[in-house]
Amino acid sequence: MRRLAPDLPEFYLQPGEWRIVRSPSILKTVLGSCVSATFHAPRLATSAMCHPMLPTHSAKPLVRPDKDAACRYVDYVIREIAHQFDSLGATRREVEVKLFGGADVLASSRKNPTVGSMNAETALRVLQDEGFQLLASRLGGSCGIFIEFQTGTGEVLLRKLSGMSLPALAES
């Protein structure tokens, strides 16, 4: 795999973590059934990436959620990142969003939706509800991926971890 910029600071996101940066950096993570959304606002020189594990947060409306715990959920963390970009003065149209993961890495004979497919569907719905347009996505499949996000340019490199081929990259 080609390195994007070996001299930049690197941050590895564990499941349930997210990070927003205001200077060029490399954000990395490994995905299976989890999803990761990258956000890049060139005008503001600001980028973010998240690694949520579960589709929806079921907080009671009047109860303030524990933010660290809530960021494990796709719907919550995407809305939190949207709020952060709002506070910086970004418009939804200027934020470049890419979405990855949601694989079915565990074989299942059940016909129920998998965590991977539910994570992907939730991310797509919430991004649309929040007014973001996807620039690119790679969702589904049956193997995990390693992603490396160069926040200065918005470029994302993917590496298949094992098993079968990746689904084709969808560009909007």
pLDDT score at 90 = 97
Sheet containing strand 134-139, edge to edge, reads 18-21, 46-50, 35-41, 96-101, 134-139, 170-171
The predicted-structure confidence for 30-84, as pLDDT tens digits, reads as follows 999 999 999 999 999 999 999 999 988 775 454 556 677 788 999 999 999 999 9
User: What is the pTM for the complete model shown?
Assistant: 0.86
CA of 145: how far to CAs of 35, 45, 85, 163, in Å?
10, 26, 27, 10
Tokens matching residue 85: 């970009």
pLDDT score at 69 = 73
- 10-162, which class in CATH? alpha beta
